Structure 1
Amino acid sequence: MHTETKQSGSQSEAPLSSAQASGVSANIAATAPGQLRVIKRNGTVVPFEASKITVAITKAFLAVEGGNAAASSRIHETVAKLTEQVSSTFKRRMPSGGTIHIEDIQDQVELSLMRSGEHKIARDYVIYREEQARKRADKQALSPATAQAAEAITVVQPDGSRAALDIERLHTIVSEACSDLDDVSETLILDEALRNLYDGVTLAELSTSLVITARTLIEKEPNYSYVAARLLCDNLRAEALGFLKVADKPTQADMHHLYAQALPAYIARGVELELLSPELQSFDLARLGEALLPERDLQFTYLGLQTLYDRYFIHSNEVRIELPQIFFMRVAMGLAIEEDDKNARAIEFYQLLSSFDYMSSTPTLFNAGTLRPQLSSCYLTTVPDDLHGIYGAIQDNAMLSKFAGGLGNDWTPVRALGAYIKGTNGKSQGVVPFLKVVNDTAVAVNQGGKRKGAVCAYLETWHLDIEEFVELRKNTGDDRRRTHDMNTANWIPDLFMKRVFDDGEWTLFSPHDVPDLHDLYGKAFEERYTYYEEQARAGKIKLHKTMRAQNLWRKMLGMLFETGHPWMTFKDPCNLRSPQQHVGVVHSSNLCTEITLNTSQDEIAVCNLGSINLPQHIDENGLNLDKLQQTVSTAVRMLDNVIDINYYSVETAQNSNFKHRPVGLGLMGFQDALYKQHIAYGSEEAVNFADRSMEAISYYAIDASSQLAAERGAYSSYEGSLWSQGIFPIDSLDLLEQERGADYIKVDKSQTLDWPALRELVKARGMRNSNVMAIAPTATIANITGVSQSIEPTYQNLYVKSNLSGEFTVVNPYLVKDLKARGLWDGVMVNDLKYYDGSVQQIDRVPEDLKAIYSTAFEVEPRWLVDAASRRQKWIDQAQSLNLYINNASGKKLDITYRMAWYSGLKTTYYLRSLAATGTEKSTISTGNLNAVSSGEQMGGPAPVPDACSLDDPDCEACQ
């Protein structure tokens, strides 16, 4: 059988619609001199490539004559001659370039075969073309009943007028939506959508019907997620281009020329509406418009595009004025605005973002290129021990949250309950009443109306209020001393963990009696803490409490089990491995526990985040290091630019960011990267991949920051840092081991890259950024790019995800692909997955090797999560958001897991989860109601899942 002569595309391409045909002249006009382009059947315009003609003609010859050696030479020479004839024909016809339809190329191939005497092959080629045309027609045909019903439908237009249902356009957009996708049916979508329509349906309802129809098919075939996204994109095109007065009812094919027209119209309108910075008008918009790649609209899943539509695209009176590629270009322009060659850099940044190889964090995507470009993700503050300072810190929280920043507050300096207050000759109420105010402020100031305000309070384990602090999220007790909407975290010194291991005693103090403990760590902390314990025993410190360390540890674990809080984070590794320990102290982490930066009353730490899409860098040979290096180099430059462009609502944050210039380059899609390599998460192979992939990211990120230092200068506090001493993150493990003691830590120190050479380069060039790496949760940007979030194992292989954009059926496409390859994907398998809450472990016909690869989060032993995190942590100068999943959790399991986390050198952990928070209701098996959500048990009690963007949801979206 032959292969059709094609210029990239599938055999299911539809005939050109009238709307598409109307754009051909514009395509020709837009074509560069001498350049030929090809219109595919779905209207997409691609460059002319003679090599594709060669391949197609060769396959035609092989199908008739076979591939024996005798025929090979003749075929090669004949094909080369025919290809040249076909190519020359079109070059003669269009010496200045132009646009050719795919059918014209196939006609010319057929004619050349006849003229050259290859009649048998030409005849076979004609028969094949007719057969393919028949298949396309059959695929696009409506059932007779549906076609008859469609003729009676009129559609109410936005102006109130009525028009006959445009079946031709429906065919076109559904054909575009299904193009190049396997196992999807245009006919099924059209039949099902039209069956639910009625005379007088609105245009919006018609569009919604198509999208919903594709949505309902996702659980049976994941590719319908792309179909639904493309149908949604049709709605978006009409909305945005209509508002901008660029086009009416455009198709995806039209975007080849319309994107270039839309960009300057969008910038002008956005500036006029005071939504965009006027500085964007200084770019070469014609050049940037030509750089837009409309085919990248096709790579979105439905969840990804719907999330952008609902929460990211700039709108005016709820009308979206951005399109996907314009959105990415707006962000790229916003990040390139201070570059010397800002047009070239904007195109470079755009290409990286729109490829999904890397994605900036949510605040950057929200605000780049706007009047207030608050692009930073995280803010860390230290709260002083005086009333003016406390309320000043709460005001800072409000201002930072207003512009979409996630917050981490260090409350350790604030004196404890019962401590003496000299100014009033009274006693303090402690930390807890102020935290209630912080909680309510986070609720009131909701990140610009785009997502909930989010804050995490940190308290060191020796603070006298620690026992009440760990109970803040309880559902019982005095509600005035509870914080149901904010997060809490323990900031744990190594000495406490040693006392737990050794079953020693632990003493609690008020910080006003032991003020220097806040700034001490390592051996210095141990010496001073021991001194204060002696003072307390001698009666010189009256306000204190002594208890078994294990009793407090059990209470911390018990509250973590019951409420999910406070999280476990470790003070000493955060400080002993910090590159910036020469100029300050890390007093807390951030909202999501991946940032470890110095804070004080004079400095609010700021971090700027973005994440590499790891599976995009996996090929048939594993991790593509060359591509990874290119991605990291551009990503670090984009992150560094954020620091100078960023809008700072608090001056102390600006001073800190300019002085130290920290960034946090992370990753997402770790689970997808394992799937692409057929590696089980719970395996040594996965742990080794975590090690090697993070080593490469670390190496290239440090190199990229150092290259920027050579170009732009080192950050101002570089001298004296660990970087300046040639001590990299991998080397700082030795510092931690020396201070903690070798008996209390075990970390693999293997390495594979040329680190000595990089140390010499950094020594010569310096570093542009005090900190370079941090792995954030990436929940929302992972949704946008269609991969698993961060370093998480798969939550379930089939489930319903709820967020601010609604409910979405999520099915594991890798599992479906593997089951299809073995003939196991069918309706029964879907039913079984729903019954077993997305697990394959109890489905007998699933092979054992697939059961291992597709184990879900609660089916992976926690030790594998900790081991992989430990291997990553050795390369990271900050930390990582590490959720721990424990099935059938018990006190013993929690004790072992968290001791292991500390013993393995981790800096922080994030949420503890026991059972899934949402699931597909088993009642849907018989009823077919796909998007029902049932409340499930999770750590924190049997309460139903809170609302869509709750921080207690497994897909937390508060900071990314």
Structure 2
Amino acid sequence: MDTTLTPGKTSVNVTAPQQLRVIKRNGDVVAFDASKIGVAMTKAFIAVEGDNAGTSSRVRDFVAQASQAIVEAFQRRLPDGGTLHIEDIQDQVELALMRAGEQKVARAYVLYREEHARARAAAGGDIEKPHPTLNVTLPDGSRQPLDLGRVETLVHDACEELANVEPGKIVEDSLKNLYDGVTIDGVSQALMMTARTLVEKEPNYTYVTARLLQDSLRREALSFLGIAEDATYSDMAELYKPAFKAYVAKGIEFEQLDDKLAEFDLERLGDALDHSRDNAFTYLGLQTLYDRYFIHKDDVRYELPQVMFMRVAMGLALNEDDREARAIEFYELLSSFDYMASTPTLFNSGTQRSQLSSCYLTTVPDDLDSIYSAIRDNALLSKWAGGLGNDWTPVRALGSYIKGTNGKSQGVVPFLKVVNDTAVAVNQGGKRKGAVCAYLETWHLDIEEFLELRKNTGDDRRRTHDMNTANWVPDLFMKRVFDDQEWTLFSPSTCPDLHDLYGAAFEKRYAEYEEMTRTGQLKLFKRVKAKDLWRKMLSMLFETGHPWITFKDPCNLRSPQQHAGVVHSSNLCTEITLNTSVDEIAVCNLGSINLAQHVVDGELDDAKLQRTVRTAVRMLDNVIDINYYAVPQAKRSNLKHRPVGLGIMGFQDALYKQGIAYASQEAVTFADRSMELVSYHAIEASSDLAAERGHYESFEGSLWSQGVLPIDSIEKLRLERGEKYIEIDTSATQDWDRIRDKIAAQGMRNSNVMAIAPTATISNICGVSQSIEPTYQNLFVKSNLSGEFTVVNAYLVHDLKERGLWDEVMINDLKYYDGSVQPIDRIPDDLKAKYASAFEVEPKWLVEAAARRQKWIDQAQSLNLYIQGVSGKKLDVTYRMAWFRGLKTTYYLRALGATSVEKSTVDRGKLNAVSNGSGTAPGAAPAPSAKPEASEPRGIEDFLQGQSGSGSRAPSAGDIDELGCEACQ
């Protein structure tokens, strides 16, 4: 319905949700009236700005938009109707004002609430008459009195062994949100919502909320399995085992689980389930599993957390000699969060269609039949939840001659439009959007139009708004940029061998083709200034977020498999660098070490890391044999080369646990040494697997077989590129000769072993920071299917509490400054440095840390770059530095324009602990200037005038899955 708001003389329409009710402080339940939101906001503006605010068009428009946003938030939270407490509505009003930067108005509103709370207390408390007797409506429609004893037991269980949480407060506040006739699920929801609102004050409430959510999960799964109608946390010590056995039987009956799971010793596996590990989940982690991962039938999730981890472990142990022992070993690793398998593996391991691999890379040949076969392969691979990387360089350019028709080609772009629409039409198993990235080499004649594919202007038939694009850049182009020389664009139909050449061989042949253009032997070409094309690449990257910049030569010159083919592209997330051809679709199988779990007492625990890595490599190798392959080229390639990609996540958490700031030399050193240890143990684990199972088929002739390890391959890149264009640290601490000797004796089980993926969702499951990312924001609001809730940096809260700085004012300051600690005077400089967020860390630190990791990795990293106060000069320097330091790839650019106005530079009646933003933490980025430097290249600056980057600017941290590629991890 439309409700007209009439605060003062204003009048705006807000669409109110159906069947929402409000619980007043006296326990009465009344209909939701959206107009009161607008009235409350307008009164707050009037209190600050005077009576004229009531007729101000600015206030009127703000009130209308903010009111609608609040109503929509309630609709998302309660799509089928339900109840809200009056305090919850007022909290949302306060949050809307804070988010909009209306600090003075928000403060007036807070003071208004406090004044009325005191008045109510003086009059005898919030509840002016006895709370009505509460009855609960059961699923069959019958009613019974609310069992307050059970409610208290659930809440006390949820708070057990957690510091600074108050079970009594949760119970008391939850009762305010209950009404006579509430459903059982309504009781659970009230408890969770109450605990969730307290997270911003004490991060441990995220664990309380997760444990309260488990009550709903247990009730849903156990009743469906016929085990129990409900159960407490302590009950699960006995109930997990029968639930697990019933689950396996039901899953096989429903044709969802692999029949082979019934052949395991379910008694032994059931005994290994550890119900206490359910308590390790944050609310976001558990809700993520429930929303996306748990197996369900008719919308009923009958899989519980520990059951899911055991199902995945069993699926990965199917071919092991002692399946039960290995399944328990794998389960221990997953359920402890020491290591997490990738999303496709979590989705499908142990099911009847075990598509466990994350990434698929293809090369598209230059003929019509092959092009549409490649698009068909994309559809089949996407259907089973694979992320795709397509190499489109072989396809002839616009204007190229077509012998069969005596006509001219329309180039690559029209086909990419079909690829884009296929990704939309065929999503990932009905669970996630289809995801594909097209790669094109920088010498391709269509490269300029390729750069513009993601623009929002121009001919929409030549735009791809839903797919990703990446630039496959040869070293020769970067040299021409550095030396301010010309660059020639060719069609692959006349220069086909450039596609398979790299390093010095590419440079020699490219020069020969350039000479042919001067003699007239080649007619179809275009000559441009390398710097002009580079500027356009950076401009489009800033404007649209694409194409990503990836480097062809280091990917090939350092590839262990250069004897067996050529790396023509990376994957959807730019961390996989495997050979592709007409006959082979490269496949990679991913998983990530939780680095934070391996920092013990402030130091990296090498012994624990070794144990984790050895088991993880075994799990990844098992994926190759168990995996379902949608197309034969993928199976052929994966069984022949057996590549895996072991990565890391929780890097930022590991730094916090050691007291290290991201923007520091100590962090760079930790990136170096931690990755060296992961590499050392992973390569040894693969070699030991080769001793047990045999080396991979194409091992002979590889760099491994020649005793050349990733750290050694840097020298080949240096020789081919030239000393002038490279600077890489090559220090080491481990006994690498021992590993070389072992490989010489045993071989390698896997052609490739390491790759650092984005871990967009699996890091949420484990409750740590994504991949190698710095903290995005220290406090933000997350929206998901279950509503909105606050996520706060627990490490920061802990440090502030230790120094007596954590209070309501600090919470409000962090909200106002989007989680940034830099403008807050009370926070000491050492904490400002430690808790600098992504845009407050100069990008050079991201590149330096990545370069130190890259020397140990046989594949690549998904490296997001964050640039505050973006300018042409900053982009130019950052991406040149990435190439100069030997990085193989880069991923998303997260850019904030130089014309952006920070809240910290605006006087909005700041709280008493806030500075004007004039200071910055050591190593943190300074506040951006409002004007670009006059001496900078104009390509970016012309675009920047009046804009802050429509496509590549940073998304809200609340939209967590946008910060990395979910398709891979």
Task: Quickly name the TM-score band, shorter chain normalised.
Answer: 0.7 to 0.9
Distance in 2 (alpha carbons) for counterparts of 1:944 and 1:620: 35
* Counterpart among 562, 576, 594 of residue 575 in structure 2: 594
CA displacement at 1:191 relative to structure 2: 1.2
Alignment of 1:653-692 (within 5 A): 653-692=634-673
Which residue in the other structure is 1:643 paired with?
Answer: 624
Distance in 2 (alpha carbons) for counterparts of 1:293 and 1:873: 37
Distance in 2 (alpha carbons) for counterparts of 1:314 and 1:454: 23
Which residue in the other structure is 2:751 paired with?
Answer: 770
Which residue in the other structure is 1:448 paired with?
Answer: 429
One-letter code of the match for 1:873? Q
Distance in 2 (alpha carbons) for counterparts of 1:397 and 1:178: 48
Which residue in the other structure is 2:558 paired with?
Answer: 577
CA displacement at 1:959 relative to structure 2: 2.4
CA displacement at 1:805 relative to structure 2: 6.5
Distance in 2 (alpha carbons) for counterparts of 1:954 and 1:721: 36
CA pair 924-796 structure 1, distance change in 2 beyond 3 A: farther
Structure 1 SS opposite 2:401? strand
Residue 259 of structure 2 is aligned to residue 278 of structure 1: yes
Alignment of 1:922-941 (within 5 A): 939-941=949-951
Structure 2 SS opposite 1:693? helix
Contact 1:275 1:371 (C-alpha < 8 Å) held by counterparts: yes
* Counterpart among 324, 334, 338 of residue 315 in structure 2: 334
Distance in 2 (alpha carbons) for counterparts of 1:575 and 1:417: 28
Which residue in the other structure is 1:415 paired with?
Answer: 396
Which residue in the other structure is 2:801 paired with?
Answer: 820
Alignment of 1:5-16 (within 5 A): none
CA displacement at 1:947 relative to structure 2: 13
Which residue in the other structure is 1:565 paired with?
Answer: 546
Runs of 4+ in 1 over 6 A off after TM superposition: 143-148, 919-926, 946-951
Distance in 1 (alpha carbons) for counterparts of 2:191 and 2:165: 14
Structure 1 SS opposite 2:775? coil
Contact 1:629 1:700 (C-alpha < 8 Å) held by counterparts: yes
Distance in 1 (alpha carbons) for counterparts of 2:127 and 2:277: 33
* Counterpart among 672, 681, 701 of residue 700 in structure 1: 681
* Counterpart among 162, 168, 172 of residue 181 in structure 1: 162
* Counterpart among 480, 490, 495 of residue 476 in structure 2: 495
Which residue in the other structure is 2:91 paired with?
Answer: none
Which residue in the other structure is 1:856 paired with?
Answer: 837
Structure 2 SS opposite 1:400? helix
Structure 2 SS opposite 1:887? strand
One-letter code of the match for 1:446? N
Distance in 1 (alpha carbons) for counterparts of 2:485 and 2:965: 37
Residue 938 of structure 2 is aligned to residue 957 of structure 1: no
Contact 2:543 2:952 (C-alpha < 8 Å) held by counterparts: no
Unaligned runs of 5+ in 2: 1-123, 912-945
Contact 1:950 1:956 (C-alpha < 8 Å) held by counterparts: no
Contact 1:487 1:566 (C-alpha < 8 Å) held by counterparts: yes
Distance in 2 (alpha carbons) for counterparts of 1:660 and 1:417: 36
Structure 2 SS opposite 1:507? strand
Which residue in the other structure is 1:611 paired with?
Answer: 592
Which residue in the other structure is 1:434 paired with?
Answer: 415
One-letter code of the match for 2:316? L
Distance in 1 (alpha carbons) for counterparts of 2:818 and 2:960: 21
CA displacement at 1:700 relative to structure 2: 0.1
Distance in 2 (alpha carbons) for counterparts of 1:171 and 1:608: 45
CA displacement at 1:738 relative to structure 2: 0.6
* Counterpart among 262, 284, 291 of residue 310 in structure 1: 291
TM-score (norm 2): 0.81
CA displacement at 1:213 relative to structure 2: 1.0
Residue 492 of structure 2 is aligned to residue 482 of structure 1: no
CA pair 889-440 structure 1, distance change in 2 beyond 3 A: same
Distance in 2 (alpha carbons) for counterparts of 1:379 and 1:680: 36
Distance in 2 (alpha carbons) for counterparts of 1:169 and 1:703: 52
Which residue in the other structure is 2:514 paired with?
Answer: 533
Alignment of 1:129-140 (within 5 A): none
Contact 1:402 1:445 (C-alpha < 8 Å) held by counterparts: yes
CA displacement at 1:799 relative to structure 2: 1.1
Contact 1:617 1:627 (C-alpha < 8 Å) held by counterparts: yes
Alignment of 1:277-296 (within 5 A): 277-296=258-277
One-letter code of the match for 1:495? L
Alignment of 1:150-165 (within 5 A): 152-165=133-146
CA displacement at 1:938 relative to structure 2: 6.4
Which residue in the other structure is 2:488 paired with?
Answer: 507
Contact 1:831 1:925 (C-alpha < 8 Å) held by counterparts: no
Distance in 1 (alpha carbons) for counterparts of 2:883 and 2:952: 29
Distance in 1 (alpha carbons) for counterparts of 2:369 and 2:796: 57
CA displacement at 1:214 relative to structure 2: 1.1
Contact 2:781 2:958 (C-alpha < 8 Å) held by counterparts: no
| 192-201 or 591-600, larger mean C-alpha shift | 192-201
Distance in 2 (alpha carbons) for counterparts of 1:277 and 1:150: 52
Which residue in the other structure is 1:734 paired with?
Answer: 715
Contact 2:687 2:743 (C-alpha < 8 Å) held by counterparts: yes
* Counterpart among 227, 232, 257 of residue 238 in structure 2: 257
Structure 2 SS opposite 1:449? coil
Distance in 2 (alpha carbons) for counterparts of 1:955 and 1:831: 28
Residue 758 of structure 2 is aligned to residue 749 of structure 1: no
Deviations 1:32-73 (A, max 9, x none): xxxxxxxxxxxxxxxxxxxxxxxxxxxxxxxxxxxxxxxxxx
Which residue in the other structure is 2:849 paired with?
Answer: 868
Which residue in the other structure is 2:51 paired with?
Answer: none
* Counterpart among 226, 244, 248 of residue 267 in structure 1: 248
CA displacement at 1:924 relative to structure 2: 15
Alignment of 1:110-121 (within 5 A): none
Contact 1:418 1:429 (C-alpha < 8 Å) held by counterparts: yes
* Counterpart among 531, 547, 568 of residue 550 in structure 1: 531
Distance in 1 (alpha carbons) for counterparts of 2:172 and 2:771: 39
Distance in 2 (alpha carbons) for counterparts of 1:315 and 1:867: 45
Distance in 2 (alpha carbons) for counterparts of 1:722 and 1:488: 30
Unaligned runs of 5+ in 1: 1-142, 927-935
Structure 2 SS opposite 1:456? strand
CA pair 321-480 structure 1, distance change in 2 beyond 3 A: same
Contact 2:796 2:835 (C-alpha < 8 Å) held by counterparts: yes
One-letter code of the match for 1:904? R
One-letter code of the match for 1:861? E
CA displacement at 1:348 relative to structure 2: 0.3
Deviations 1:528-565 (A, max 9, x none): 00000000111111110001100000000010111110
Deviations 1:690-749 (A, max 9, x none): 000000000000000000000000000000000000000000000100100011000000
Structure 2 SS opposite 1:459? strand
Structure 2 SS opposite 1:366? helix
One-letter code of the match for 2:346? L
Which residue in the other structure is 2:57 paired with?
Answer: none
CA displacement at 1:800 relative to structure 2: 2.1
CA displacement at 1:219 relative to structure 2: 1.2
Q: Which has the higher contact order (CA 8 A, sep 6+)?
A: 2
One-letter code of the match for 1:366? F
Contact 2:132 2:180 (C-alpha < 8 Å) held by counterparts: no
Distance in 2 (alpha carbons) for counterparts of 1:152 and 1:451: 45
CA pair 637-939 structure 1, distance change in 2 beyond 3 A: farther
CA pair 732-597 structure 1, distance change in 2 beyond 3 A: same
